[in-house]
């Protein structure tokens, strides 16, 4: 039996990370970048570092990283990392989420 799987906090985190994964897949698809592209691994590593930092800042502020905000923060981190490589991030690619935008802006400084 999966005792962890019954825990509401574990279920909530699984939903958050599933939404983050879907966000990643959607961005790569809309940018027409293969998940097997040699650049993706480095982007994901840098994105994860920024996302974790964002999570810490959110925690300090008492801001919940739920299944709405976390994927928006991750998407913005990923878009910033990809954009830093000179790849155009089209308007409308990222979900509208003002809290996520402010948080990412602070982390990327």
- Band (pLDDT 50/70/90 cuts) for residue 97 is confident
- Band (pLDDT 50/70/90 cuts) for residue 2 is low
What does the alpha-carbon distance between residue 109 and residue 103 come to, in Å, rounded to a whole number?
A: 10
pLDDT digits (tens, 9 = 90+) for 32-76: 999 999 999 999 999 999 999 999 999 999 998 888 899 999 999
Over 60: is that where the pLDDT of 93 sits? yes
Lookup: tokens for 4: 């962890």
- What are the residue boundaries of the structural domains of the chain, listed by start? 3-108
Full-model pTM: 0.89
Output the CA–CA distances (angstroms, integers) from residue 35 to 21, 49, 61, in the order listed: 12, 19, 34
């Amino acid at each position: 039996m999966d005792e962890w799987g019954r825990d509401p906090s574990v279920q909530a985190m699984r939903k958050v990370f599933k939404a983050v994964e879907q966000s990643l897949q959607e961005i790569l698809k809309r940018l027409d970048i293969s998940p097997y592209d040699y650049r993706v691994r480095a982007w994901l590593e840098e994105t994860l570092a920024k996302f974790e930092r964002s999570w810490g800042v959110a925690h300090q502020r008492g801001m919940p990283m739920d299944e709405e905000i976390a994927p928006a923060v991750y998407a913005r981190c990923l878009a910033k990392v990809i954009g830093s490589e000179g790849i155009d991030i089209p308007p409308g690619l990222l979900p509208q989420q003002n809290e996520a935008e402010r948080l990412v802006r602070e982390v990327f400084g």
